[in-house]
Structure 1
Amino acid sequence: MELAFRNARIVAGEEDFIGSLLVRDGGIAEVASGASAVGEDLEGDVLMPGIIDLHTDSLEKHYFPRPNIDWNPVSAAVTHDGCGLSVGVTTTFDSLSVGSFNPSVARKEDNLRRLVDGLLTAKRAGMLKGEHLIHWRCETAADDLRERLDHLADHPMTALFSLMDHTPGQRQYRNLDQYLDNWRAGGMSAVAIEERLTAARERQSRNAAPNRAYVAELARERGMPLVSHDDEDLEHVDEAADLGATVAEFPVTVEAARRARERGMAIIMGGPNLIRGGSYSGNVRAAELAELGLLDGFASDYVPRSLIECAFRITAKPFGWSLARGVALVTEAPARAAGLNDRGRIAPGHRADLVRVRLVDGLPVVRGVWVQGERVA
């Protein structure tokens, strides 16, 4: 099967140009600059690789659309898939938290199993048009991490493991007063807050180090990437790198990002951080890391639409990056970080995962999406 496009602003590698592209049997067969009389006229719209999202929490939102209201997990997976494709995401790492740290209802063990089984059922039935993989976010301070992960790590869609620790007073929640304000707002007394905080710290003390080593070994045995989440200081980064982590996801300080660069780790920030102008937790801004040359890519975190916006926002002031460099932040960079060598770039031999985009009043509007040459949105 062949598919051809012409008069497209093709983003290929380190450049973009008006040209044509030929797809054959689900892969990119030819890319050429200049005019062509063959293929669908894309009217000068951008044609870029499909977006690769290394971390999104949005599957849970479709499974639990309101508190305590669960949805059919297969139906939730299909809806989630369609929403991602509508904003250009063709490869999704569904990030699911393992280990109980004040978990939401969606993250309770029985719900988590229903969620991943529903995702697999939808995939095997051909109901998903994009590719979905599982990113296990491992709460290393949790007492029950190993018990839960033992039943989940070998799920056939598993592709990524990350180390995280949400103990208050460090990493993402290093601003302890700001974090405890949430507990106070919920009506907790000073005594109850102190008891809960002490219990969290004791749990971290006995679990974090051995659980981090355990997760690292799981990733190593399966030949899968290991990600370190919310690193704050040199010690956090060095410990993760020594365990084999190759990706620093959402570092919370410039210091941590600099050390990640020194240790050869890919630095991935949350898309909403750039689009909203900063971190909702008060941590380092993605814009600051971009200005310092300490940014390699983006993940959507909790807003899949943010990725396509990041690719174009960073080409405007005050950044002024080239379109090719901006697009690589959400395509080629995450592909490399995840070890996906068959996608993330428009080049012969790569998968024909493609997104057609037009800027309207400064906002990127997705006008077409193809996965392995098949129109899916």
Structure 2
Amino acid sequence: MSLSLTFAGAEVLLPGQGLVREEISIADEVITEGAARAVALDGYIVLPGIVDLHGDGFERHLAPRRGAMKQMDEGVIATEAELAANGITTAVMAQFWSWEGGVRGPDYAAQVFAAIANMRDRVVTDLVPQLRFETHMLEDYAALPARMADWGVSYLVFNDHLPHDRLAAGRVPPRLTGQALKARRSPEAHLALLQQLHENGPEVPAALDGLCDTLRAQGVALGSHDDRSAQDRADWRARGVRISEFPETVEAAEAAKEVGDPVILGAPNVVRGGSHKGNASALDLIAMGLCDAIASDYHYPSPRRAALMLAGSGVLDLAAAWALVSSGPARVLGLTDRGDLSPGKRADLVVLEADSKRVALTMAGGRISYLNGDIAARVLR
């Protein structure tokens, strides 16, 4: 059940006004002009809820130890608890369909999407499934659209994580034995599979053209992962793949922005001050205006920390920094009902302690998903 409340005394981030000390009310699951009961929030900051466009941090909740957990519903609940504790009110859960096997294999993907579908109406956070599909798995193309429809998945991002340089040179890829064990294959069988997929390369572009046509007709939003060049982005855009996740170079990010394709960057990259793989710094790309949204990637605390760090360091003001984790990603997903605290929008918000900037309260659709510390007595009295 949604609450009917007016938060008073807090600083509130309002569209077009920045951070102002003003009352904000919620009722019937939306931001409204007035509500029944006032809650004093002196010493707190009220911000739009975080819309996380890409996160796979849920893997450790759904499969904390390989083969140990068979019931995923509890893992989805545990994931939501972490999402809510970090101010995330809409979460894109990015699941692999990959030759890597194990928790990234096709069969496991089916289990994950079934668990998300089973639990979506039982949790407060809005959970959005995303499929990350490896481009060279040509044998899976024919079945993919129907399986996505069955799973209720309408967001797909293409990946290619094959070690092409080593395979082309006839060299053994790094970590082959560990990967093979995770996939429950012998190292020899795993290497043979990688070589076969690598050899699919010449057939991939035309196959992708047809697959993207089918998926777009099905209403699936499409993105590419790790664009390396302007040509990469142009090739994807020609297929209707508009979203650019984590471009690896300034050139690729610039190519996306020039034609209005949304650019998503990793929040851990921002917090760390650079890419752990030596790619373009997200901080630099944001300073250059080449970013529409930042996402948790593998670490759910990072979107909040990244936005606050951008504001604290003066790279952006708070409104612009927070937009990268709220209204920006909402626009990318086409979610016009959330992303800021305008009247009539969904009551998705996060309340931070003004001094520590820790999350004290998270609400999604006017329902509490997280409540902590002294604020609990004020809200629940």
Instruction: Find the counterpart in structure 1 of residue 15 from structure 2.
Output: 13
Question: Within 2, Cα distance between the matches of 1:221 and 1:299?
Answer: 27
Tell me, which stretches of 5 or more residues in structure 1 are unaligned?
none
Instruction: Find the counterpart in structure 2 of residue 375 from structure 1.
Output: 368
Instruction: Give the 3 Å change call, closer, same or farther, for CA 233–94 of structure 1 in structure 2.
Output: same
Match of 1:163 among 158, 163, 187: 158
Question: Within 2, Cα distance between the matches of 1:352 and 1:340?
Answer: 13
Deviation of 1:347 after TM superposition, in Å, equals 0.2
Instruction: Give the 3 Å change call, closer, same or farther, for CA 41–71 of structure 1 in structure 2.
Output: farther
Match of 2:276 among 256, 276, 280: 280
Question: Within 2, Cα distance between the matches of 1:372 and 1:142?
Answer: 39
Instruction: Find the counterpart in structure 2 of residue 39 from structure 1.
Output: 38
1:116 correspondence with 2:109: no
Number of positions where the alignment pairs a residue of Structure 1 with one of Structure 2: 357
Deviation of 1:181 after TM superposition, in Å, equals 4.5
Instruction: Find the counterpart in structure 2 of residue 64 from structure 1.
Output: 63
Question: Within 2, Cα distance between the matches of 1:6 and 1:81?
Answer: 28
Matches within 5 A, 1:323-334: 323-334=318-329
Match of 1:290 among 240, 264, 286: 286
Instruction: Find the counterpart in structure 1 of residue 28 from structure 2.
Output: 25
Aligned partners of 1:241 and 1:263 also within 8 Å = no
Instruction: Find the counterpart in structure 2 of residue 226 from structure 1.
Output: 222
Instruction: Find the counterpart in structure 1 of residue 258 from structure 2.
Output: 262
Secondary structure of 2:122's counterpart equals coil
Aligned partners of 2:138 and 2:207 also within 8 Å = no
Deviation of 1:195 after TM superposition, in Å, equals 6.9
Deviation of 1:169 after TM superposition, in Å, equals 4.8
Deviation of 1:259 after TM superposition, in Å, equals 0.5
Larger deviation, residues 300-309 vs 197-206: 197-206
Aligned partners of 1:6 and 1:41 also within 8 Å = yes
Aligned partners of 2:164 and 2:198 also within 8 Å = no
With structure 1 as the length reference, what TM-score do the two structures score? Answer: 0.86
Match of 2:205 among 190, 203, 209: 209
Question: Within 2, Cα distance between the matches of 1:47 and 1:332?
Answer: 15
Identical pairs, percent = 28
Deviation of 1:184 after TM superposition, in Å, equals 9.0
RMSD: 2.9
Instruction: Give the 3 Å change call, closer, same or farther, for CA 147–13 of structure 1 in structure 2.
Output: same
Question: Within 2, Cα distance between the matches of 1:370 and 1:116?
Answer: 24
Question: Within 2, Cα distance between the matches of 1:59 and 1:144?
Answer: 28
Aligned partners of 1:231 and 1:250 also within 8 Å = yes
Question: Within 2, Cα distance between the matches of 1:314 and 1:237?
Answer: 27
* One-letter code aligned to 1:236: D
1:50 correspondence with 2:56: no
Aligned partners of 1:353 and 1:373 also within 8 Å = yes
Question: Within 2, Cα distance between the matches of 1:263 and 1:289?
Answer: 16
Matches within 5 A, 1:325-344: 325-344=320-339
Question: Within 2, Cα distance between the matches of 1:154 and 1:326?
Answer: 35
Deviation of 1:144 after TM superposition, in Å, equals 3.4
Tell me, which stretches of 5 or more residues in structure 2 are unaligned?
181-187, 371-381
Match of 1:3 among 2, 5, 12: 5
1:101 correspondence with 2:103: no
* One-letter code aligned to 2:9: N
Instruction: Give the 3 Å change call, closer, same or farther, for CA 87–242 of structure 1 in structure 2.
Output: same
Instruction: Find the counterpart in structure 1 of residue 378 from structure 2.
Output: none
With structure 2 as the length reference, what TM-score do the two structures score? Answer: 0.85
Deviations 1:189-228 (A, max 9, x none): xx9999776544313332x313422442244223342212
* One-letter code aligned to 1:349: G
Instruction: Give the 3 Å change call, closer, same or farther, for CA 186–246 of structure 1 in structure 2.
Output: closer
Question: Within 2, Cα distance between the matches of 1:245 and 1:80?
Answer: 29
Question: Within 2, Cα distance between the matches of 1:278 and 1:192?
Answer: 36
Aligned partners of 2:6 and 2:36 also within 8 Å = no
Secondary structure of 1:76's counterpart equals helix
Question: Within 2, Cα distance between the matches of 1:184 and 1:122?
Answer: 36
Instruction: Give the 3 Å change call, closer, same or farther, for CA 142–263 of structure 1 in structure 2.
Output: same
Question: Within 2, Cα distance between the matches of 1:80 and 1:147?
Answer: 32
Question: Within 1, Cα distance between the matches of 2:351 and 2:210?
Answer: 42
Instruction: Give the 3 Å change call, closer, same or farther, for CA 131–185 of structure 1 in structure 2.
Output: closer
Question: Within 2, Cα distance between the matches of 1:260 and 1:25?
Answer: 39
